[in-house]
Amino acid sequence: DAGVIQSPRHEVTEMGQEVTLRCKPISGHDYLFWYRQTMMRGLELLIYFNNNVPIDDSGMPEDRFSAKMPNASFSTLKIQPSEPRDSAVYFCASSLGGPWGKNIQYFGAGTRLSVL
Amino acid sequence: EDQVTQSPEALRLQEGESSSLNCSYTVSGLRGLFWYRQDPGKGPEFLFTLYSAGEEKEKERLKATLTKKESFLHITAPKPEDSATYLCAVQARNNDMRFGAGTRLTVKP
């Protein structure tokens, strides 16, 4: 398997624009996670899905952020409108089984977002 | 509030010079403590999960230990390829996950 695939790898946009980040999890994995990493706050869990259903979105910073998983092989994280403080590296991860310890999360390479 | 503190922020070692990284935590009911390795421009890569005080796990030159308040990642005779940022994360009983800021390790040949 190619692992978790994220696109684009880099995104530069202007404040107020809509941004869509994409993720393809490892085939057969039933959990998908979206994280954000910044120097100030480190790695933070934004939302996770189980069998395409959002389970916990308590980490989503505000209503400008939304995530969907229309099928088992694709998820999107959308920011509308984007703001400079959204600049960060966004990671997608997937696992087989729940978000707890026995089930290893495999991370994608991330999308580096810069909002000017 | 659950907290995870890693120290030091950065560590420079000579090849072969053993050392330890620290992860101190406060959490309401520990479900698991995780160690990840992150290389520049890549996502975190899973290393270990520890579940209870006294537990130890090893992988090549790395050994992770756990007490009720902290975890150590011991690196024995490190090599330049061990250079990376090492992240610690704790999972509370309610499944909330919190990551530390990481320790950036540089091993000089």
**Segment 83-102 of chain A within 8 Å of chain B by CB:** 91, 93, 98-102
Residue A101 has pLDDT above 80, yes or no: no
Partner-chain contact A43 B45, CB within 8 Å = no
pLDDT of residue A103: 75
Decide if pLDDT at B18 tops 70: yes
Average pLDDT over every residue of A80-101: 90
Nearest-CA residue of chain A relative to B97? A45
Residue B76, C-beta contacts closer than 8 angstroms, at least 6 positions apart: B18, B61, B62, B63
Give the model's pLDDT for residue B96.
Answer: 80
3-class DSSP string for chain A: CCCCEEECCEEEECCCCCEEEEEECCCCCCEEEEEEEECCCEEEEEEEEECCEEEECCCCCCCCEEEEEEECCEEEEEECCCCHHHCEEEEEEEECCCCCCCCCCEECCCEEEEEC
Residue B106 reports pLDDT greater than 90? yes
Please tell me the predicted confidence (pLDDT) of residue A100.
Answer: 64
Chain B interface, mutation test: which of A43, A95, A107, A111, most B Cβ atoms within 10 Å?
A: A43
Average pLDDT in the A103-112 region? 92
Mutate to test the interface with A, among B36, B99, B103 (most CBs of A within 10 A): B99
pLDDT attached to residue B29: 87
Query: B83 pLDDT exceeds 70?
Result: yes
Residue B35 clears pLDDT 80, i.e. is over it: yes
Query: Average pLDDT of B82-87?
Result: 98
Q: What is the pLDDT of residue A99?
A: 65
Does B43 sit within 8 Å of A93, measured CB to CB?
yes
Would the CB atoms of A109 and B99 count as touching at under 8 Å?
Answer: no
Tell me, yes or no, if A25 comes closer than 8 A to chain B by beta carbon: no
Q: Nearest chain B residue to A4 by CA: give it.
A: B43
- Supply the mean pLDDT for chain B: 94
Residue partners of A65: CB distance under 8 A and separation at least 6: A46, A77, A78, A79
- pLDDT value, residue B1: 78
Task: Specify the pLDDT at position B67.
Answer: 95
Q: Which residues of chain B make contact with A102, given a CB cutoff of 8 A? A: 49
Nearest CA in chain A to B96: A45
**Average pLDDT of the residues in B7-36:** 95
| pLDDT of amino acid B11 | 98
Q: How confident is the model at residue A23 (pLDDT cuts 50, 70, 90)?
A: very high
The answer to whether the Cβ–Cβ distance between B43 and A45 falls below 8 Å is: no
In this prediction, residue A35 has a pLDDT band, given cuts at 50, 70 and 90, of very high
